[in-house]
Amino acid sequence: MKILRPTRAEINLENIKDNVGIIKKFVGRYVDILAVVKADAYGHGAVEVAKTLEKSAVKIFGVATIEEGIELRLAGIKKDILILGSTYPFSNFSEVIKYELTPTIASISGLESFNNFAKFKNKKLPFHLKIDTGMARLGISPKTFVSLIEKIKNLKNIYIDGIYSHLACAAENENFTEKQIREFEKLSREIPARFIHIAASASIIRYKSSHFNLVRPGLLIYGLLPSEFSDSVIQVQPALSLKTKIVYLKTVAKNTSISYCRTFITKRISKIATVPIGYADGFLRCNSNNAKVLVHGKKASVVGRVCMDMTMLDVTDIKNVIVGDEVVIIGSQGKEKISAENVAKRCNTINYEIVTSISKRVPRVYV
């Protein structure tokens, strides 16, 4: 469909490709990369990102759901795809096998069910075994790990291609993180596997001992840093900009209320611009009376409540503003910049939520 609305997310695929190269150089030649492209590649567009990285240093793609994996296969992605999330109900293993996806196994029932499906198809199929070392989400208990390994050895139609876990607070709690890494390292020695992995973006930066032979960058690929890092030894570049245009301008009198419920009242004669972006697009309501955007390279305030489809700006102090002028929500304009981290801080959240909240109705334009 032709793009008609002036609101769009611009994605720089070269930055994504370069970021992977930077990560690869940082972890070294003996550590492979699993590129996490779940949640539509953190809002950047999973298919286009995966196509860009298909011929890069990326060894495996990581998704959260079976549907996300199928989408990549239908788009022609050939590399291994690991489903990091649950595959329950286990009848879904038929689709996992059909599309040659690699499941995460985190229970005895899942293990037995996957083996039965593989046996029915007369195949010997790979999976990654997930161990819970402290997240209390998906993963088998370390206490049952050894007995489970013995059971796996007796199953003829499946095999462990990888063993992994997930760090609960790699950017914050050093003692707990190191405890998780030590426990995982000990357990991973119990059975051979092609891939051993526990490190996501924060631990890639902070804990070299967590790299093993595979790392799982997500946020870093898109040029974003975990929220606890104000700086990083890895110099990645953001790949996403969120932009729109002014579609309406009006001058209003002093004491005029703007948007729903009169939460903003003008204190002077004001020039108010309307832009076609709202919380249905992912510009969250927490930005109401609380955000800055860029117009003509200067910061303009969001005034009044963010609506579902529109937002109002005070452009009184910016000269020569006209309908059609570009407005930058995330990105750079002139000498000014607004990052996803800036938006996240205002909304008391994390940059992950900001970029993954950009909805499907915002077209992704690849530059």
The pLDDT confidence band at residue 164, using thresholds 50, 70 and 90, is very high
Coil, helix or strand for 171? coil
Q: What is the residue whose two structure tokens read 């245009």?
A: 245
**Band (233; pLDDT cuts 50, 70, 90):** confident
230 pLDDT higher than 70: no
Res. 126: pLDDT tops 80: yes
Read off the pLDDT of each residue in 111-135 and give the average, rounded to a whole number: 97
CB distance 293 to 313 below 8 Å: yes
Q: What is the pLDDT of residue 214?
A: 99
Is residue 318 a contact partner of residue 326, using CB atoms and an 8 Å limit?
Answer: no
Do 153 and 72 sit in the same domain of this protein? yes
Least confident of 137-151, 277-291, 295-309, 351-365: 137-151
What confidence tier does 101 reach under pLDDT thresholds 50, 70, 90? very high
The pLDDT-based confidence of 38 (bands split at 50, 70, 90) is very high
Q: Residues 329-338: what's their mean pLDDT?
A: 98
Q: What is the CATH number of the domain that holds 312?
A: 2.40.37.10
Tell whether 268 and 216 lie within a shared domain.
no
**How far is the C-alpha of 324 from the C-alpha of 296, rounded, in Å?**
12
Which amino acid makes up residue 339?
A: S
Question: Which is it for strands 158-164 and 125-130: parallel, antiparallel or unpaired?
Answer: parallel
Compute the Cα dihedral for 50, 56, 58, 60 and give only its sign: positive
Q: Is residue 2 part of a domain?
A: no
102: left (phi over 0), alpha (psi -120 to 50) or beta: beta
Question: Which domain-ending residue is among 195, 222, 249?
Answer: 222
- pLDDT score recorded for residue 173: 87
Residue 1 confidence (pLDDT) above 90: no
* Tens-place pLDDT, residues 278-299: 999 999 999 999 999 999 999 9
Q: What is the pLDDT of residues 240-251, one digit of tens each?
A: 999 999 999 999
CATH number of the domain that residue 46 is part of: 3.20.20.10
Residue 122 φ/ψ region, left for φ over 0, alpha for ψ in the -120 to 50 degree band, beta for the rest: left
Domain, as residue range, for 211:
31-222
Same domain, 218 and 259: no
CA distance 195 to 161: 6
| Res 147: pLDDT | 86
Give the pLDDT score at 88. Answer: 95
pLDDT at 341: 95
pLDDT at residue 231, rounded to an integer: 65
Residues 6+ apart with CB under 8 A from 99: 66, 69, 70, 73
Q: Is residue 48 part of a domain?
A: yes
Residue 140 lies in a domain: yes
pLDDT greater than 90 at residue 171 = no
Q: Could you give the C-alpha distances from 166 to 177, 192, 229, 295, 336, in angstroms and in order?
A: 10, 19, 19, 41, 37
Residue 321: inside a domain, yes or no?
A: yes
* CB 313, CB 300: distance < 8 Å: yes
Query: What's the number of CA atoms in the CB half-sphere (13 Å) around residue 28?
Result: 9
Whose CA is closest to 14, among 339, 337, 239, 331?
239
What are residue 81's DSSP bridge partners? 61
**Global model pTM greater than 0.85:** yes
The answer on 278 and 354 residing in a single domain is yes
Phi, psi of 259, deg, nearest 5? 70, -170
pLDDT confidence band for 140 (50 / 70 / 90): very high
Whether 100 maps to a domain, the answer reads yes
Tokens of 284: 């969250």
Q: Tell whether the model's pLDDT for residue 362 goes beyond 90.
A: yes
57 plus 169 within the same structural domain: yes
Q: Please indicate, yes or no, whether residues 54 and 156 belong to a single structural domain of this protein.
A: yes
Q: Are 207 and 248 part of one and the same domain?
A: no
Do 82 and 166 fall within a single domain? Answer: yes
Mean pLDDT for the chain overall: 96
The domain tally of the chain equals 2
H or E segment to which residue 174 belongs: helix 174-188
Mean pLDDT of 147-171: 94
- Position 227 pLDDT exceeds 80: no
Residues forming the active site = 38, 260
**pLDDT digit string, tens, across residues 185-226:** 999 999 899 999 999 999 999 999 999 999 999 999 999 998
